[in-house]
Amino acid sequence: MRKNLNIFWSWGFIIGLFLFILNDHVLKSTFDNWFTGKLSDIAGLFIFPIFFSAFLPKYRKHIYWITALGFIWWKSSYSNGFIDGWNSFDIFNISRVIDITDLYAPLILPFSYYYFKNYRSKKIAVSPIPLILLSSFAFIATSRSPMAQITYNEEYNFQYSADSLKMNVFFHSNITNNESAREKWCKLDQKEKNSTYLKKFFKSQKKGVIDSYFKKSIWFELNDTTHNCVYQMATISVLENRDLSKLKLITMSYRHCNYVGDKTDKQFLKELFEKLIIKELEGK
């Protein structure tokens, strides 16, 4: 057993753990870009199966397969029920962002497996326990959400098609996502923004950004500085029914809320969502 545990002091594992912790606790909050989002997945998937294989080397193949399948499940909408169930216990909130490009991360697993299989143990006098504890903390902390989450499942009906609703959400003035598309949109003059052009523009974008944007429940940040809630986010989905459409508010997440009054955070955030998002959509 001790021979296998020495891998915790190997350079590959230490570098992977260092990058994993540095990215989660420093780089993400400093830069918060595509690279930092993927670095945690890659570094984590490299060291995670090594960690358990060190204790159960005979089952390393099973561990690597479970890691791959578990990661795919975790990054899909199928894990929503588990996340909601866990968060209902109010121990600490966990969360993750669904992004199909994250599914490239498991490609690191064969390299991790090769590293573990070909590692040659060295006699090391230092106990691996500090690194085992640090690794355990890192695995738990990476999925722990710094934000509180409230479940709503509130539906809002609109008297126009789902395609129009998707487009209106995509170019919503109070949603900070899709800045590049919005910049392109703002360069158009009012004549170009007539209904005919809207249909053509949406049709041209549908197979690209807009369509993929609504294939799953989406997260967006409410762009408002007049209230006292910090880092408020909402998860929504768009439902279709012929010429009518529905927007479903699934959850609201926030760092903290300093609202002064007799309303609960749940009431206040729902009213904020309706004021900033729904009101503009109803006027379309």
Nearest to 93 by CA among 85, 105, 81, 103: 85
For residues 181 and 126, membership in a common domain is answered with: no
Most confident of the ranges 134-148, 185-199, 228-242, 248-262: 134-148
- Same structural domain for residues 273 and 166? yes
Q: How many domains is the chain built from?
A: 2
pLDDT in tens, 202-244: 555 554 555 555 655 555 566 555 555 554 566 677 776 666 8
Helix (H) or strand (E) holding 188: none
Both 8 and 68 in a single domain? yes
* 124 & 158 share domain: no
Q: Decide: 55 and 136 in contact? Cβ < 8 Å.
A: no
| Residue 78 CA to its chain's centroid (Å) | 14
**Do 136 and 211 have their domain in common?**
no
Q: In terms of domains, do 59 and 159 share one?
A: no
Q: Which of 123, 143, 163 is the last residue of a domain?
A: 143
Q: Are residues 168 and 201 in the same domain?
A: yes
Q: What is the pTM of this model?
A: 0.56
Q: Are residues 29 and 110 in the same domain?
A: yes
Q: What is the CA radius of gyration of the chain?
A: 23
In the listed set 94, 121, 143, which residue is the last one of a domain according to the structure?
Answer: 143
- CATH code (residue 237): 3.30.530
86 and 170 housed in the same domain: no
pLDDT tens digits, 90-100: 566 676 766 67
Name the residue with tokens 């595509």. 34
Range of the domain at 119: 2-143
Residue listed under structure tokens 């996502």: 177
Same domain, 47 and 104: yes
The whole-angstrom separation of Cα 76 and Cα 123 is 42
Same domain, 112 and 191: no
- Please report the pLDDT score of residue 186 as a whole number: 54
In this predicted model, what pLDDT tens digit does every residue of 66-78 receive, in sequence order? 999 999 998 887 8
